[in-house]
Amino acid sequence: MADAKEKNLGITVKKEEDMAEWYQQLCLKSELADYAPVKGCYILRPLGFALWEQIQAYFNKRMKYRGVKNAYFPLFIPESFFHKEATHAEGFNPEVAWIANKDEDSGERLAVRPTSETIIYDSYSKWLRSWRDLPIRINQWANVVRWETEATKLFLRSREFLWQEGHCVYENNVDCDREVELFLIEYKDLCEKLLAVPVIYGRKTEKEKFAGADYTLTIEAFMPDGKAIQCGTSHNLGQGFAKAFGMDFQDKEGNTQIPCQSSWGISTRLIGTAVMQHSDNKGLVLPPNFAPNKVVIVPIIFENTRDAVLGKCQEIKDALAHFEPILDDRDEYKPGWKFNEWELKGVPIRLELGPKDLEAGQVTAVVRDTGEKQYIKVEDLTAALPELLTAMHDRMFESARLHMESKIVDVDNLDDFKKAVEERKLIKTQFCGEIGCEEDIKENISGVTSRCIPLEGGEPKEGGKCFNCGKDSVCTIYFSKSY
């Protein structure tokens, strides 16, 4: 039973000592993902893909509730589409992948989509006629390609990744503004309710906003190693793309109007975010709502009680079907080995059942995040499990929230700012909002970027001055290192 491979099952470095190495081993050994033979790409293994499906299931429900419909547009985008919106083209140009084959009909060069604004809005310009067609709310689940040169980091940075991109069209900017924020709040809720990940949320600076947007809203998580992860963005595109793609409509009075647009997206980055936030030195700790299987049942088998124990385990599995339990009845592994494996794979609750438990009419329940053990009567399981899972979710969220809050530091001058960057804090400060000043910060202080101007509390302090240039502050803003 024991072979050489078993020895490598566990993670060999500690999260608090070398987070980068820990994270990589965690993703590989828990079988979430693997590296691909092509540089910059990775493989989502079944467990990793199951987590993506959890995100899809949650968010499809939310989108449908908001009147969004799913559709699918082509992977290839004609080069001329990029040239229609100049800022967008300039922003994405360095990382667009071009294919060698040209479109036979137009003779045009084709890009592999880095994002789909251009190809989708070309279609919208044909479909939109009247105010009765508005709003348009369409989402696509797709892969996109951005020819990154930085090193691949599983789920967090790669050339190809999976995401959803929502593309909406509105009669006016008031409706557009409202829903740009609405979908951002949907993302915030997703992070909190599904992933147990707290976020700060707000507006990107002029420098950091999406190429071609009037403004960009973002949610940002803060990792245990003191780096932020941009988890989702929602852009108000104004009328720029509509004008570039010739979109207009007849309003109620019969006048021709140009619509306002938004786009918003989240990606497989969310998997990396949740995994990095919560997991420990034994392996994954999956938040209960995110975990595809909430429960694993491990029978403790002795030959003379084998049938009775397995029979009871099967009964429990059937009764708990709602939690998609795994019954690990493999003969070739001992219980201790199975415990380690399921801890590595992050199943929230482990139920152990042996001959003594059978006699007592109970199971031993172990929760993944604390390792705490308790005995639960078999007939009480269906009532007890939701409580255990909810408590676990709340604990994980609260622990992450306390960590983030403990890292926030108020800074009002450059020296303290630099020190806080060194200490990997989430820096709250006053800022002039000017692109030149932000470029100066980026150039002179290594690895730090602005994260967001919070939607709540983003107004400038009275009499506040920019920490970098000393001009009057226009906002309160967060800076930090980031992934």
- Kindly write down the DSSP assignment for every residue of 327-346, as one continuous string: E---SSS-HHHHHHHHHHTT
Token digits of residue 43: 């493989």
Shortest distance in whole angstroms from residue 458 CB to Zn ion:
16
Shortest distance in whole angstroms from residue 204 CB to Zn ion:
16
Strand partners, 202: 218, 454
Strand partners, 162: 143
Backbone angles phi, psi at 466, to 5 degrees: -60, 130
Pairwise CA distance, residues 291 & 26, whole Å: 16
Cβ closer to Zn ion: 30 or 430? 430
Shortest distance in whole angstroms from residue 187 CB to Zn ion:
29
Q: How many CB atoms lie within 10 A of CB 339?
A: 18
- Nearest partner of 149 among 94, 214, 225, judged by Cα: 94
Is the peptide bond between 299 and the residue preceding it cis, with omega within 30 degrees of 0? no
Pairing outcome for strands 448-454 and 475-482:
antiparallel
Cβ closer to Zn ion: 295 or 466? 466
- Nearest partner of 258 among 241, 234, 280, judged by Cα: 241
Cβ closer to Zn ion: 41 or 474? 474
Helices assigned H by DSSP within 345-457: 355-360, 381-407, 414-422, 435-444
Cβ closer to Zn ion: 185 or 469? 469
Pairwise CA distance, residues 399 & 391, whole Å: 12
Cβ closer to Zn ion: 155 or 467? 467
Shortest distance in whole angstroms from residue 212 CB to Zn ion:
25
Shortest distance in whole angstroms from residue 462 CB to Zn ion:
17
Cβ closer to Zn ion: 13 or 469? 469
Token digits of residue 451: 């994260």
**Residues 95, 146 contacting (CB under 8 angstroms):** yes
Name the site residues for Zn ion (rule: CB under 5 A): 432, 437, 466, 468-469
Shortest distance in whole angstroms from residue 470 CB to Zn ion:
7
Shortest distance in whole angstroms from residue 200 CB to Zn ion:
21
Cβ closer to Zn ion: 245 or 467? 467
Cβ closer to Zn ion: 118 or 429? 429
Cβ closer to Zn ion: 287 or 464? 464
Q: Given 3-state DSSP classes, what are the helix, strand and coil percentages for the chain, each rounded to the nearest 5?
A: 40, 25, 35
Q: In what order do the strands lie in the sheet with 76-78?
A: 76-78, 109-112, 97-102
Give per-residue burial for 202-214: e unless 16+ CB within 10 Å, then b.
bbbbebbbbbbbb
As to burial, measured by CB atoms within 10 angstroms (0-12 exposed, 13-18 middle, 19+ buried), residue 258 is middle
- Cβ neighbours for 210, distance < 8 A, ≥ 6 positions apart: 91, 204, 216, 233, 235, 263
Shortest distance in whole angstroms from residue 474 CB to Zn ion:
9
Pairwise CA distance, residues 160 & 144, whole Å: 6
Strand partners, 228: 222, 482
Shortest distance in whole angstroms from residue 383 CB to Zn ion:
57
Shortest distance in whole angstroms from residue 437 CB to Zn ion:
3
Cβ closer to Zn ion: 203 or 393? 203
Shortest distance in whole angstroms from residue 459 CB to Zn ion:
17
Shortest distance in whole angstroms from residue 435 CB to Zn ion:
10
As to burial, measured by CB atoms within 10 angstroms (0-12 exposed, 13-18 middle, 19+ buried), residue 471 is middle
